[in-house]
Structure 1
């Protein structure tokens, strides 16, 4: 089952979000990560979809964290699928695909015709899923970040 996260889901979501950040070599900080998620939900700044275990309907096994923004080139809303993570013990069972399909449904509901994401260059497993789901790697635009101190 996949559904939109609420504040009541934070205790189940936060440990998985912590695992996700550790995967990307960020330090573990459960309370900070839980607070970040709480702020996004409270302020309606993101949409989080949760995937639940079939056998244990209370256990979160995957999530997406989606931000809605706009693109001048698309002249429309775009969804930034910023984070997608499935518990490593549950992978290869279609959970990631289900979470992406839920994101596609959201895009259609909002009238958006573009979902954008970024992933690590060495994350070939995720890249395989994205290609399978129809995502195209951008060969035209480069992505740049500026750390502001």
Structure 2
């Protein structure tokens, strides 16, 4: 397996990310937060329109992991005032636990350092135990607990985790 990482740069890339996001979210998050909230969140945050808007108007950068011509994972980051926000880090189920997420995170770390950001932070659902364990293994600390109203009667009940780079 030879994984290639590239930066999302075309509308076709955005479409590929949105299609993978839809698949991952329905498989992984439906048991965690329910189908109705998954569908709402995919449309609001992971749809082709939402990802395109993030790239074109919100200063997001997406790193894409390919196995040949198949997109198998991606991460989306957004520079904040003091640190880099790791908004998304998702892997196709068949490609988890192979070090690909770590490779995507390495790209985010390089980008954060280029921007002079001393840390990367993310939010993760409190019940999402596998990713929480993976983030801890990659050096993140669990810094706080938050509940965020995302509209339509839904909330995100998350931990904020942070990776210090310096």
Sort the TM-score into its range (normalised by shorter chain): 0.7 to 0.9
Gap runs ≥5 in structure 2: 31-37, 153-166
Gap runs ≥5 in structure 1: 71-76
Q: How many residues align?
A: 136
Q: 1:18 aligns with which of 3, 12, 22?
A: 22
Q: 2:73 aligns with which of 62, 65, 86?
A: 62
Contact map agreement 2:84 2:112 (CA 8 A) in 1: yes
Q: CA deviation at 1:146?
A: 3.9
Taking only aligned residues, the RMSD between alpha carbons, in angstroms, comes to 2.0
1:4 aligns with 2:7: yes
Question: Structure 1, residues 4-31: CA drift from partner, whole Å, max 9, x if none?
Answer: 11123123211111124333341165xx
The structure whose residues are more often helix, as a share, is 2
Q: 1:37 to 1:91 in 2, by over 3 A?
A: same
Counterpart Cα distance in 2 of 1:18 and 1:147: 18
Counterpart Cα distance in 2 of 1:82 and 1:33: 14
Counterpart Cα distance in 1 of 2:150 and 2:9: 31
Match of 1:33 in 2: 47
Q: 1:110 to 1:82 in 2, by over 3 A?
A: same
Contact map agreement 1:12 1:59 (CA 8 A) in 2: no
Secondary structure, counterpart of 2:83 in structure 1: strand
The structure whose residues are more often strand, as a share, is 2
Q: 1:119 to 1:147 in 2, by over 3 A?
A: closer
Secondary structure, counterpart of 2:141 in structure 1: coil
TM-score with structure 2 setting the length: 0.73
TM-score with structure 1 setting the length: 0.81
